[in-house]
Amino acid sequence: MKGLPPRIRPLVCVAALAATLTLPVSGAAATRPDAAREIQTATEHAGFAVQADNLNLVHLHLQHAINCLTGPKGPGFDSPAGDPCQGQGNGALTDFTGNAREKRILKQAFRLARTGVHVDQYVPAHDVAEAVQSLLREAQPAPAPAASRK
């Protein structure tokens, strides 16, 4: 700091402090599992599969949903397809801690999506994508209630 003009030194200190405060405390903090976010991302990709205009895109987005549900170490994970949930956790099926009914729905969506990526005709694959999206919407955890104001 000795080589900096006196008027610039406080700005450098503030910038350094701001940069330090934005860093995660540990690597684990940056990748804390977030099943709700993984389910949301899987639901979005099931929706992209529904909107797809060709079979390859239906398959790709169903695979993205699978990857979010199973996580990188789970069955059916396909790394070359891409992982839209990277950094969100270990897969919604692993990270989910909600009720048994929602967990069962997640498993159904996962199994159905795995079937969907093997359907070789557009219309039936599209129908599977709609069913997967519907199941995932049903499995999404309810938002936390807003804090009441006094």
Domain boundaries, the chain: 34-139
Q: What confidence score (pLDDT) does residue 34 get? A: 92
Identify the pLDDT of residue 26: 33
Q: How large is the average pLDDT for residues 120-147?
A: 89
Is residue 133 scored above 70 in pLDDT? yes
Which of the four pLDDT bands, split at 50, 70 and 90, describes residue 6? Answer: low
Q: What's the pLDDT tens digit per position in 86-114?
A: 999 999 999 999 899 999 999 999 999 99
15 pLDDT more than 90:
no
CA distance 148 to 60: 43
Instruction: Say if residues 48 and 61 touch (Cβ distance below 8 Å).
Output: yes
Query: What is the pLDDT confidence band of residue 2, given thresholds at 50, 70 and 90?
Result: low
Range 71-89 average pLDDT = 96
- Average pLDDT, integer, range 57-69: 99
Average pLDDT over residues 6-12: 53
Residues with Cβ within 8 Å of 91's Cβ and at least 6 positions away in sequence, in order, are: 38, 67, 68, 69, 70, 71, 72, 73, 74, 77, 85
Residue 53 has a pLDDT of 98
Which residue has tokens 């909600």?
A: 98
Work out the average pLDDT over 59-76: 98
